[in-house]
Amino acid sequence: MLECQQLTKRFGERLALDALDLRVGGGEIFCLLGANGAGKTTTINLMLGFHTPTSGTVRVGGVDPAADPHAARALLAYIPEQVNLYPLLTGLENLEYFVQISNGRRYSRDDLMGYFTQAGLSSADAGRRLGEYSKGMRQKVGIAVALAKQAKALLLDEPLSGLDPKAANEFCSLLIALKERGTAILLATHDLMRARDIGARVGIMRAGRMLAQRDTTELTHNELEQVYLDLMRA
Amino acid sequence: MNNWMLTTRSELRQMLRDGRVRVALLTLLALFATTLAVGSAQQARYDSNVREAVKADRSIWERQGARNPHSVAHFGQYAFKPAGAISLFDPGLTPWLGTALWMEAHYQNTAAYRAIDDQVAPTLISNLSAAFVLQYLAPLLLIFLGYALIARERERHTLKLVLANGASLRAWAGGKFFSLLTVAAALWLPSLALVAIADSSDERARSVMLVLAYAAYLIMLCALTLAVSAKARTARSALLALLCGWVVMALVIPRVAAVVAERAAPSADAGQFWRDVRAALRQGVSGHDPADAREKALLEKTLAEYGVTRVEDLPVSFAGIALQAGEEHGNEVFDHFYTQLRAAEERQRTVLRLASLVSPWIALRGLSSGIAGTDAQHHSHYVQAAENYRRELQRYLNGNVTQNAKGKDSDYQADALTWRQTPVFSYRTPTFRELGADYLPDALLLLAWIVLSIVALTVAVRGLVREGALA
Ligand SMILES: Nc1ncnc2c1ncn2[C@@H]1O[C@H](COP(=O)(O)OP(=O)(O)OP(=O)(O)O)[C@@H](O)[C@H]1O
Ligand SMILES: [Mg+2]
């Protein structure tokens, strides 16, 4: 579903991404791990078509996002670290706006409410203004958008940072539910433990290069941490 | 629903949920409606005052009894300037130019009854017109509502989220533009009352032109505001840039331009003007044509015409002929000086038009007061008509003296009924058709500004998604 081949991105002299190879299929969660500046966000931006590759290819469901960002984005849902929606609109209105703007379809209030609650939000909150939502609740609105637009792939850029443990756990359960529905999930995170818990494959990046890819189901927490630290040190 | 309608709806929803926006919008709407209502009431009062004054003036005129026509000529009459119904929208130069002319023998006066002379100090409220609200306050509201429309979304990364979800940038920005236009339209809507109250085909044409001009101007404001919002790095800098732009373009440049225009084509100072006029009346425009020599030549010419050698032998009153000749000499002098004055005004107007290239407010103000019939062009049309009438009246009165005063001179008294037969001043404001072409440059300048602002908006919006801008 998501595929990068020899993907390279330069910003002037700086090599942000260096011949990255990556594949995330439907029903799979892939975690990008790596220190600050490793190139995680750049990878996501390339998939969204906000950057054009310097060389190599990137494909979203077979579509080149640099050439046809519209088609690529129609397949994608994107959740940044800070989901800043419209504070003066209610949660449900935000959901409605973001879904309709992405595909132009009309949704009944019941449909929207269905996605809203599937994303782990309480229907009692649907009519509250988004300005009153916690960070975790806003992330969930993002998930509701992904559910409603039936995104084939979900791109998340450090969505867990700043969430309390309970909210983070809830959020991870939602990701697992999405994975089980066949969604391809690419998650940039610093959280090794949760990466393992959600049964993801992980890719460890440094300075724009993919140093290693591992299946976390084969590793314990400690082993994963060791691999990560060894690679960072090397 | 397509993208832009969705965005418009969502944007309006957010605006209306903001208490400050509601208050600002309602206040301005109320103010605008009030200025229209007050203006229309003042207009009605002015019209009935003028009607009464004209009637009273004429009835005093007609009841002068038996009098010498020349003292009647000195007694004079007023020529009142009628105000069209839409002048209430934009009083333009009316407060400075006056609304009535004192017409008397020998002098072409400038208009009197200037509103600014009656005020102890001109206050904002007394000068608050609908045009003022749209020209100066509406931009502030649109800036307040529009400065953050795009800048804030970029700042808070919602724009990235919107686009990442597959929204089309053009439709999204179009939706933003349309939401601001909707607010502008709400402000503009009450001005349609003007079209409704128009009571002649010319007034209707003018009021349609006027509301169209303001619609164009508001579209331009929305586009400019949004262009700056799209271009600025932050919402705060967008606000700052817009407010500075408003102060400079709406307030500073028009004043500077007026000063520059005055420098480029100085209009004579009133005192000097009348000193020059008096000198020319005495000495002729050339300064070498003294009055006594003129009168001597006139006498010789008249005697020769009638084939007599003495004044007493003339079949008519020479005093009447001399009065009319003096009047005609004066007319020449006035034509000379007023033509100069008008030429200076015209040169100033050209300078102002050049300044419109940097401030659309100048073009708008020219266009607005022109369509409303309250600018210098319309004023000079009225002045010209009043002057033509004054000349006609003087000719009539002097003719009466010439025919009847032989041998009696200033002892002659015309019949009490004479005054009823003198022509009546009836002034018709020129139709916009007659003067319209005069305003074409202003209309084109305003149009150029709309095109420019929409191009600026398009370019600024495209810039939002240049490679890496949103990453
Ligand atoms: N628009 C840009 N212009 C110039 N350099 C950039 C740009 N975006 C990213 N970079 C550089 O590319 C490199 C990779 O950045 P990126 O944001 O992808 O890292 P990251 O893995 O997401 O880091 P973090 O964990 O801090 O979010 C960094 O060196 C960064 O400075
Ligand atoms: Mg990042």
DSSP string, B9-42: HHHHHHHHHSHHHHHHHHHHHHHHHHHHHHHHHH
Whole-number Cα distances in Å, B258 to A123, B348, B356, B463: 63, 8, 11, 37
- Would you state the pLDDT for residue B123? 42
Mean per-residue pLDDT, B177-186: 95
Among A84, A104, A149, the residue with its CB nearest the CB of B3 is A104
Q: Quick one: pLDDT at residue B146?
A: 95
Q: Where are the alpha helices (DSSP H) in B63-101?
A: 69-75, 94-97
**CB-count burial class (<10 Å; 0-12, 13-18, 19+) for A108:** exposed
Of the listed ligands, the closest to the CA of B466 is 1
Half-sphere exposure of B145 (CA within 13 A, CB side): 35
Residue whose CA is at the smallest distance from ligand 1 atom 29: A37
Beta bridge partners of A130: none
| Whole-angstrom distance, CA of residue B151 vs CA of residue B156 | 9
Residue with tokens 């004429």: B58
Lowest mean pLDDT of A97-101, B241-245, B287-291, B415-419, name the range: B287-291
Report the pLDDT averaged over residues A137-147.
91
Average confidence (pLDDT) over B170-189: 94
d(CA B140, CA B144): 6
Query: Predicted confidence band at A111 (pLDDT cuts at 50, 70, 90)?
Result: very high
The residue of A101, A139, A145, A156 whose CB has the most chain B CBs within 10 angstroms, and thus the best one to mutate to test that interface, is: A101
Is the beta carbon of A14 within 6 A of some atom in ligand 1?
yes
What ipTM score was computed for the predicted complex, to two decimals? 0.92
> Rounded to a whole number, what is the distance in Å from the CA of B468 to chain A's nearest CA?
5
Instruction: Identify the closest residue of chain B to A71 by CA–CA distance.
Output: B166
3-state helix, strand, coil in chain B (%, to 5): 75, 5, 20
- What is the distance of C-alpha B356 from the center of its chain? 16
> Is it the case that residue A45 has pLDDT exceeding 90?
yes
> Residue B357: enclosing H or E segment and its boundaries?
none
Question: Which ligand 1 atom is nearest residue A205's CA?
Answer: 21
- Mean pLDDT, chain B, whole residue set: 85
State phi, psi for A82 to the nearest 5 degrees: -105, 110
| A230/B9 Cα distance (integer angstroms) | 53
Q: Is the CB of A42 under 6 A from ligand 1?
A: yes
According to DSSP H, which parts of B63-124 are helical?
69-75, 94-97, 115-118
Q: How far is the CA of A231 from the centre of ligand 1 (A)?
A: 19
Chain A residues with CB under 8 Å of B467 CB are 51-52
Q: What is the pLDDT of residue A129?
A: 95
Greater confidence (A111 vs B47) lies with: A111
User: Tokens standing for A232?
Assistant: 């960072």
Rounded CA-CA distance A228/B153 in Å is 37
DSSP state of B166: T
B387 pLDDT above the threshold of 60? yes
Length of chain B, please? Answer: 471
For residue A189 the two structure tokens come to 């995170």
Structural tokens at position B35: 């200025």
Task: State the SS3 of chain A.
Answer: CEEEEEEEEEECCEEEEEEEEEEECCCCEEEEEECCCCCHHHHHHHHHCCCCCCEEEEEECCECCCCCHHHHHHHEEEECCCCCCCCCCEHHHHHHHHHHHHHCCCCCHHHHHHHHHHCCCCHHHCCCEHHHCCHHHHHHHHHHHHHHCCCCEEEEECCCCCCCHHHHHHHHHHHHHHHHCCCEEEEECCCHHHHHHCCCEEEEEECCEEEEEEEHHHCCHHHHHHHHHHHHHC
Residue B372 has, within 13 A of its CA and on its CB side, a CA count of 28
Residue nearest to atom 12 of ligand 1 (CA): A16
Chain A residues with CB-CB distance to B8 below 8 A:
none
Token representation of residue B466: 């240049």
Asked whether the beta carbons of residue B167 and residue A102 sit closer than 8 angstroms, the reply is: yes
Q: Residue B1: pLDDT band by 50, 70, 90 thresholds? A: low
Rounded CA-CA distance B347/B267 in Å is 10
CB-CB: which of A45, A52, A101 is closest to B162? A101
Structure tokens at B255: 């004043």
Residues of B near A (CB-CB distance < 8 A)?
1-3, 6-7, 10, 13-14, 17-18, 156-158, 160-168, 172, 467-468, 470-471
Mean pLDDT of B154-180: 93
Sign of CA dihedral B170, B171, B176, B180: positive
A98 contact residues in B (CB cutoff 8 A):
161-162, 165
Mean pLDDT of B187-200: 88
Q: Which residue has the higher pLDDT, B182 or B39?
A: B182
Q: Count CB neighbours of B283 within 10 A.
A: 16
Residue A114 CA, ligand 2 centroid: distance in Å:
32
**How many residues can be counted in chain A?**
234
- Compute the distance between CA of residue B318 and CA of residue B311 in angstroms, rounded to an integer: 7
Mean pLDDT of B419-436: 84
Domain boundaries, chain B: 3-466
Q: Which residues contact B273 (CB under 8 A, 6 or more apart)?
A: B337, B341
Question: How much is the pLDDT for B458?
Answer: 96
Check if A39 has its Cβ closer than 6 Å to any atom of ligand 1.
yes
CA distance A233 to chain B (A): 29
Q: Which helix (H) or strand (E) holds B195?
A: helix B193-197
CB A172 within 8 A of CB A197: yes
Interface of A with B (CB under 8 A): 11, 41-42, 45, 48, 50-52, 69-70, 73-74, 76-78, 80, 82-86, 88-89, 93, 97-104, 106, 129, 145, 149
Looking at the partner chain, which of A52, A78, A89 has a beta carbon nearest the beta carbon of B161? A78
Q: How confident is the model at residue B125 (pLDDT cuts 50, 70, 90)?
A: very low
Residue A206 pairs in a beta bridge with A209
Q: Which residue of A has its CA nearest to B9?
A: A97
Contact B165 A85 (CB under 8 A): no
